Amino acid sequence: MALDPVDVVIIGSGAGGGPMAFELSKAGFKVVLLEKGPHYQQQEFVHDEILNSRRNFFMPLPWDEPHLFRPGGKSKSGDEHPFKHTNDGWTANCVGGGTVHMSGYFYRLKPIDFRLRTELGAVKGANVADWPITYEDLEPFYEKAEFELGVSGNAVPHPMREPRKKNYPLPPLREHPMAQEVEKACKSLGWHAIPTARGILSQEHQGRAPCTYCTLCGSYGCEHGAKASTGAALIPRALKTGNLDLRPRCMAKEVTVDEKGRAKSVIYFDPDGKEQEQAAKYIVVSCTAIESARLLLMSKSNRFPNGLGNDSGQLGKNLLFSSFGESRAHFKVSKQKERWPWLETSREPFINRSCQDFYWMPDDKFGFRKGGTLGFMWTHPNPIFAGAGLAKRGKEGVFGKALKERMREYRDSRIMQFEIYGEFLPTDGTYVMLSDKAPTKEGKVVTDKYGLPVAAVTVTRHPTDLKMSKFLVERGEEVLANLQPDKVERIGESGETTILQGGTCRMGKDPATSFLDADCKSHVVKNLYVVDGSFMPSIGGIPVTLTIAANSFRVASRMVERLKKEGK
């Protein structure tokens, strides 16, 4: 059914879509916000590990809505690797998207991230490109995003610090005494431990309650609204304007075009499974890099037979994740409590320390120039996750008495970890296509519960990434060893974080090598915008949620100007 036209339709309500809905509705424009997931209320965010982490509360079940993943290159038999069904690559399907269950580690990119090609040079086998905007262009919108979402922290001086006009709008959260020990360890190595800013309120802010220090941030929604999710911080205020029509449980299947090749409408399935068509002057896509590429590739027409706006063939290319590695330090409380009594008595959940001394390197002595960030934290307290990990650890799994012994040791330990967030170089071998281009050996096309082709993702890691991530893991382990734990355990050094995504609709000045212009507007379809991480030519060495939100505020400001001019 065709619905009355509005000014703007936004698809997706997370870090990209939320700020757009907030700014456009606040400016007086009629906005429809389509979200494929439910609109959870605060009382629905409960501390249930089964519900949150092992069911489809946030992520769809892989048999309902799979993604297909495969490594690039050839197998031993000389054939391409087969695709495997997985739910990797989803962030969250609900109002607020991945910002609802994120841990809220909020960093800014550095000026060098915007000009990697110019500053560090080309990398063979990688599609390294400068951004068409600068850090200075984005800085005021970082400031705006930090205030509107509510970010706590303290921007101390350090060698890799980005330029700032203001400190964070809220003071730091309370910290565990281990934070000071991490600082001492880094200092003894000649490095700098800096406070980690968090998208979590340390005090009341814009009518939202502060953190209660429950320890369950990552993988859980906040029952107090203290987390900087768009669902808590922005969308409720946008709804109060009366200009936002929020439609949860609505799955977009196609963006249509008119005879002039302009985006005309969004066809979607409503909560009852019926097709609806919502026309608008402007259409903003913000479904995550994988899902936005999928939607646009599905949006075919006589004018765009290869996907909406895909004249250059760049749609779905240069997919980015974040390079990932992790190690853990085990401190037996029974042995260490004389040295550090607070290991037994303090239950403050936050260490909130990072190290960025290796964010970029002065030369390629270690095989890479662009590095990343080490973030130090306590391990997640999920007991089922911990028990399953203990049972599977090692070459052979254990159960019964052996598992009980591991559990006793676990209960006597405080476990600190670091995660690395490293550059993930864009390559021709990491991309998204539709499953109708990747049928199974039997010739069957994998579809989702709506009958639509799913995203098929190929991942080819650049060897430079792996040198970099191994180097960062080794540096993190030096910090852990300096703390004299009972054991240091390396979890991994060559992974990728698939919930941190970018690149499939990269922005640039040249329409032949990019999909979007500097305003995140399609080079070809002049009323189509993409504002999730898809726009990013590079992923940086940080979690990119704050950058996506800041850029969305930037793009929204440009759209407001454009809409006001057209309204005259």
Q: What is the CA radius of gyration of the chain?
A: 23
CA-closest candidate to residue 248, choices 103, 104, 92, 89: 92
No. of helices (H) and no. of strands (E), the chain: 14, 17
Distance CA 435, CA 444 (A): 9
Backbone angles phi, psi at 534, to 5 degrees: -55, -30
Domains of the chain: 2-567 (3.50.50.60)
Q: Average model confidence (pLDDT) for the chain?
A: 96
Averaged over 345-353, what is the pLDDT?
A: 95
Distance CA 326, CA 525 (A): 42
pTM greater than 0.95? yes
Backbone angles phi, psi at 69, to 5 degrees: -125, 145
In eight-state DSSP terms, residue 436 is G
pLDDT of the residue at 394: 76
- Helical (H) or strand (E) element with 67: strand 67-71
The tokens for 455 are 């995203």
Q: Is the pLDDT of residue 159 over 70?
A: yes
Lowest mean pLDDT among 26-35, 283-292, 381-390: 381-390
Percent of the chain predicted with pLDDT > 90: 89
Q: Give 164-173 contacts, CB < 8 A, sequence gap 24+.
A: 164/108, 164/139, 165/139, 165/140, 168/197, 169/205, 170/201, 170/202, 170/203, 170/205, 171/202, 171/203, 172/202, 172/352, 173/198, 173/200, 173/202, 173/211, 173/213, 173/350, 173/352
The tokens for 490 are 């390396």
Contact 33, 50 (CB under 8 A): no
pLDDT in tens, 232-252: 999 999 999 999 999 999 999
Q: Is the pLDDT of residue 57 over 80?
A: yes
pLDDT in tens, 427-436: 999 999 999 9
Q: pLDDT-based confidence at 406, cuts 50/70/90?
A: confident
In eight-state DSSP terms, residue 215 is S
Percent of the chain predicted with pLDDT > 70: 100
Task: Give the max Cα distance, the chain.
Answer: 76
Burial class (CB in 10 A: 0-12, 13-18, 19+), 384: exposed
Q: What DSSP string describes 352-408?
A: -EEE-TTSB-SSSTTS-SB-EEEEEEEPP--HHHHHHHHHH-SSS---THHHHHHHH
pLDDT of the residue at 482: 98
pLDDT in tens, 63-81: 999 999 999 988 777 788 8
Q: Is the pLDDT of residue 568 over 60?
A: no
The C-alpha angle 62, 232, 557, rounded to 5 degrees, equals: 100
Averaged over 179-183, what is the pLDDT?
A: 98
Distance CA 547, CA 535 (A): 11
Burial class (CB in 10 A: 0-12, 13-18, 19+), 251: buried
Averaged over 529-547, what is the pLDDT?
A: 98
Q: Is the pLDDT of residue 309 over 90?
A: yes
Q: Is the pLDDT of residue 162 over 60?
A: yes
Distance CA 427, CA 429 (A): 5
- Spatial strand order in the sheet of 431-434: 84-86, 67-71, 455-459, 431-434
Count CB-CB contacts under 10 A for residue 80.
Answer: 14
pLDDT in tens, 99-128: 999 999 999 999 999 999 999 999 999 999
Q: Is the pLDDT of residue 442 over 80?
A: no
CB under 8 Å to 460, separation ≥6 — which residues?
Answer: 71, 72, 73, 427, 428, 429, 430
CA-closest candidate to residue 185, choices 405, 418, 480: 480
